[in-house]
């Protein structure tokens, strides 16, 4: 679907997990410890991975200059790091916010954990992640909301209903 609108999907979490597994990575163990504890990886690491992925994508095809960055920024430090590193290089058009009840999120992640192999798909890590979200990420969502840049989706609905709402948002935002 994103290709239809010209976006390249970059998942901060996937980039971190891939870097964690990369042989010889200087950040692998550090990333693993942060993820396991449900904490936010230092901004310098995440931004360097995002910027590298964006640069590689645009080097391969200069027309691919629109990105959906999944799971970032997650706190004030992330936001400041993004603004400092990407100032004049990238603009945030809007924030797609999937709003969902904590228990529904936990249930879905525990179900995913049966086959994902992710070290953070367990109740203890998930509860830590929710605490981190409320303390660190929610204020960033609120900031973007005050700027009129949040597009909210009720993610407690069915997959089809959520997808339809996302399509509506992308049809409107381009």
pLDDT band at residue 1 under the 50/70/90 scheme: confident
Per-domain boundaries in the chain:
1-93, 98-162
Query: What is 1-93's CATH number, 3.40.50.11540, 3.40.50.300, 3.30.70.20, 3.30.2000.10?
Result: 3.40.50.300
The 10s digit of each residue's pLDDT in 141-172 is 999 999 999 999 999 999 999 999 999 999 99
d(CA 19, CA 41): 12
pLDDT of the residue at 143: 96
d(CA 18, CA 111): 22
7 with 65: CB under 8 angstroms? no
Asked, as a colleague might, if the bond just before 73 is cis with ω within 30 of 0, I would say: yes
d(CA 46, CA 35): 12
Question: Which residues have CB under 8 Å from 100's CB, separation 6+?
Answer: 154, 155, 156
């Amino acid at each position: 679907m994103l290709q239809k609108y010209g976006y390249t999907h970059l998942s901060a979490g996937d980039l971190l997990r891939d870097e964690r597994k990369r042989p010889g990575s200087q950040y692998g163990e550090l990333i693993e410890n942060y993820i396991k504890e449900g904490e936010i990886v230092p901004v310098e690491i995440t931004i360097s991975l995002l910027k590298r992925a964006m640069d590689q994508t645009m080097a391969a095809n200069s027309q691919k200059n629109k990105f959906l960055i999944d799971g970032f920024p997650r706190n004030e430090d992330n936001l400041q790091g993004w603004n400092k590193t990407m100032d004049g290089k990238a603009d945030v058009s809007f924030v797609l916010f999937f709003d969902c009840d904590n228990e529904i999120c936990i249930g879905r992640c525990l179900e995913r954990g049966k086959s994902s192999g992710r070290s953070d798909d367990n109740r203890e890590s998930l509860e830590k992640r929710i605490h981190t979200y409320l303390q660190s990420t929610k204020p960033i969502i609120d900031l973007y909301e005050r700027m009129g840049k949040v597009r909210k989706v009720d993610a407690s609905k069915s997959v089809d209903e959520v997808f339809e709402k996302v399509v509506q948002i992308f049809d409107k935002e381009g």
